Chains A and B, each alone.
With several copies, the nearest count.
Chain A
């Protein structure tokens, strides 16, 4: 773990020997890696490898069992309850299971992120949410409720929600799993744009296509451990 000072400064995520187990099930085991500011990183591995668990640890959806982790300057094992919402507002998450609120419209789901972040101006919210729904191709569904959406539409709503707060870090858990190639391309363009804007992007996927189309770093997981088969560099 020798790092020069400037690299330390550029780190936005630092994991050192992080373990997460649920009862006897080890979802992540002794995982160490670093992600620098404005990185574009893929996390990949077979089903059940621990990719989503890693995402959950990052936004504090779960607390890690052991190890040392820093996200955007905050030590995840020391974070106080008051700090959690602050950290989460700096992170946009596209959840694998979308996590849309069933009885709010698509518009309201997306707008909620801004309300939560303290935006008061209704017109600003309307404008930004409208723009984003336009970008993911859901303008005509703005007033639809998630249970009436198709799988791909739900996923795009989740994408819009993750991006609307202009977060520093975007965690995208299989963001194109339910999407056709054209829609996938649009979502990736959005992620690229966020990256260009300076955000750090972390994408989990098992879509080989996706990996091959990007010249990005990839972290390979298997059974909760890092196995750097190709393209990865040991943390």
Chain B
């Protein structure tokens, strides 16, 4: 075991240039993958943040008492997709409407009294992914005896969810493609390392090395290169993140949104994938060389 480590280390020193160039490539590859992840995670967050404003207004029947309204609010809170429910007395509703109409609010002053009923404001959980769910929820709320009418920005929300989902699917597909492409790049790099050493491997076999003697240090090297590449690539991204973020924040664009780094679990996943892929690239190439 120690021998394997010692030999792997020796190989690193012996093949400085080649390993250096290959490591550089892997670092860049991992950097790209993690930059992708960073981007999509934050874009997703941003869209989710945007969605925070989504709410359904349920106008209650005129004869509903405050107590009944609160009970209804409790019940609705249990529905799928509901985040919070708050009771809005008709006075508040009128003030809000006035506000909404802005310059035309004078229209309302012509009215006798407040024609609005009491209402429940239902805010939706951020994880909701689909306009259909919202529609079903609205229908369910409408079906309640206390509720006279339900209002929400149906068209706008359907469109938002359409785009959101499109974005998510695309992000997923893109991330998958890039991941696969990068995997191949890392694996290719490993192949080139092995290919450049085929003579050395051949000589070692000829003087009596068994497969294990040859394979283990190579596997270890591949995994180490993958590990170093993974650490280097994510480290590079983190350095970039630290360097760029303060400028962004001070720019004022992000007042309402905090860009976050890829979560630790994902970072670890990327680094481990990099190791694994390095090892796999090595594994499949080595089999070619070890046939007699």
Contacts and interface: CB of A to CB of B under 8 A. Distances in A.
Given A115-B3, A116-B213, A120-B3, A85 B200 contact: no
Contacts of A112: 204, 207
Contact of B208 (A63, A99, A104, A113): A113
Contacts of B292: 60, 63, 81, 84
Nearest to A165: B208
A6 interface: no
A99 B208 CA distance: 14
Contacts of A165: 208
A101 B203 contact: yes
B15 interface: yes
B206 A99 contact: yes
Band of interface residues on B: 10 to 19
Interface string B77-91: 000000000000000
Interface in A56-104: 59-61, 63, 81-82, 84-86, 88-89, 91, 93, 99-104
A112 B206 CA distance: 11
A153 B132 CA distance: 80
A131 B136 CA distance: 88
A20 interface: no
B245 interface: no
B112 interface: no
Interface of B: 3, 7, 10, 14-15, 199-200, 203-211, 213, 292
Given A59-B206, A88-B207, A99-B203, 15 more contacts: A60-B292, A81-B211, A82-B210, A85-B210, A85-B211, A86-B208, A88-B208, A101-B199, A101-B204, A103-B200, A104-B14, A112-B204, A115-B7, A116-B204, A117-B208
